[in-house]
């Protein structure tokens, strides 16, 4: 079977992978005192390959379950357009490419990338059919890219990448639970336990609001001057707060309406919020 470019993009989830690369580059620019093209290119290649490998292995493991859900039944494996052995080869190739590219930046970046792949594939993926707590586990590799960019430039861990990690860690709960709300029936067909209570109820909606509030609070931490060299001016903080209030509006609306439309609006607003905050952080620094 011949792999098409479209199938490759579906296997690696190109939109998700590019958003992760954007987070990594944002973290790099936040740390950078001078810009060099080589590590940026390596971070782009390594970041895409790292996320791509995680998604490829995830689809390999879940190929039968993907075939049960409307939103995933057309993927390359359930659609029989590619064989499992081919997918395994692609996953291994991307893993080696991703970790290798990150190693050329520094060892800590490569090890962090490798940990991210392992957590996503060997912990988060099998837990999805066992407990809603899998989302907390999955939020760890999901939060690593923003931190990864900082470590790529500085070759060190500290309070700054810790705050970046914490921000993206908490952000994932309102974002992913909004997605899980939209596709709750589909997920249940495959036996996935994604929402915190397992239902599209008020308790799940409350947790969406709760974690949204914490995300906004954490996003403002760089204003306190207790976050090392990661700082945010009062004007930058105001812009970040306005973006956060926008996402909170849709989170509260979901709790009030408990509809798929409200969940969809929150999901898209959370993407806009994350991107906007990352851009504001970088622009505020320069």
Residues 27-62 pLDDT 10s:
999 999 888 899 999 999 999 999 999 999 999 998
Per the structure, how many domains does the chain have? 2
Assess whether 203 and 144 both reside in one domain.
no
Assess whether 122 and 25 both reside in one domain.
yes
What confidence tier does 66 reach under pLDDT thresholds 50, 70, 90? confident
Assess whether 225 and 148 both reside in one domain.
no
Assess whether 227 and 191 both reside in one domain.
yes
pTM of the model: 0.90
Query: What pLDDT does 266 receive?
Result: 97
Assess whether 178 and 74 both reside in one domain.
no
* pLDDT at residue 80 tops 90: no
Query: What pLDDT does 190 receive?
Result: 83
The parent domain of residue 169 ranges over 158-286
Assess whether 131 and 48 both reside in one domain.
yes
Assess whether 137 and 162 both reside in one domain.
no
| Domain end among 156, 185, 212 | 156
CA distances 202 to 172, 198, 199, 208, 245, Å, are 19, 11, 9, 10, 21
Assess whether 6 and 127 both reside in one domain.
yes
Assess whether 119 and 90 both reside in one domain.
yes
Assess whether 113 and 217 both reside in one domain.
no
Assess whether 8 and 141 both reside in one domain.
yes
Contacts with 193 (C-beta within 8 Å, 6 or more apart), sequence order: 128, 129, 130, 131, 132, 134, 187
| Domain end among 139, 156, 173 | 156
| Domain end among 93, 122, 156 | 156
Assess whether 164 and 186 both reside in one domain.
yes
Q: CATH number for the domain including 111? A: 1.10.357.140
pLDDT digits (tens, 9 = 90+) for 186-209: 888 888 888 888 888 999 999 999
Average pLDDT over residues 231-249: 95
What confidence tier does 1 reach under pLDDT thresholds 50, 70, 90? low
Residues in the chain, overall count: 286
């Amino acid at each position: 079977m011949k792999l098409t470019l479209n199938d490759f993009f579906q296997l690696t989830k190109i939109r998700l992978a590019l958003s992760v690369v954007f987070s990594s580059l944002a973290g790099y620019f936040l740390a950078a005192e001078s810009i060099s093209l080589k590590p940026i290119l390596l971070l782009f290649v390594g970041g895409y390959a790292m996320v791509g490998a995680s998604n490829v292995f995830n689809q390999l493991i879940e190929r039968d379950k993907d075939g049960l859900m409307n939103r995933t039944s057309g993927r390359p494996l359930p659609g029989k357009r590619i064989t499992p052995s081919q997918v395994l080869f692609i996953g291994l190739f991307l893993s080696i490419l991703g970790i290798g590219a990150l190693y050329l930046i520094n060892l800590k970046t490569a090890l962090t990338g490798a940990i991210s792949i392992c957590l996503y594939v060997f912990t988060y993926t099998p837990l999805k059919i066992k407990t809603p707590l899998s989302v907390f586990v999955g939020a760890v590799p999901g939060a690593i890219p923003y931190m990864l960019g900082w470590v790529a430039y500085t070759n060190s861990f500290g309070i700054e990448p810790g705050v970046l990690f914490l921000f993206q860690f908490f952000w994932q709960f309102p974002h992913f639970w909004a997605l899980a709300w939209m596709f709750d029936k589909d997920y249940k067909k495959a036996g996935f336990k994604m929402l915190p209570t397992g239902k599209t109820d008020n308790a799940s909606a409350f947790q969406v609001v709760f974690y949204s509030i914490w995300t906004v609070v954490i996003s403002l931490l760089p204003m306190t001057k207790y976050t090392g060299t990661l700082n945010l001016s009062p004007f930058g903080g105001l812009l970040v707060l306005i973006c956060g209030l926008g996402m909170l509006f849709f989170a509260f609306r979901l709790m009030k309406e408990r509809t798929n439309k409200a969940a969809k609006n929150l999901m898209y607003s959370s993407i806009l919020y994350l991107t906007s905050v990352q851009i504001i952080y970088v622009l505020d620094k320069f």
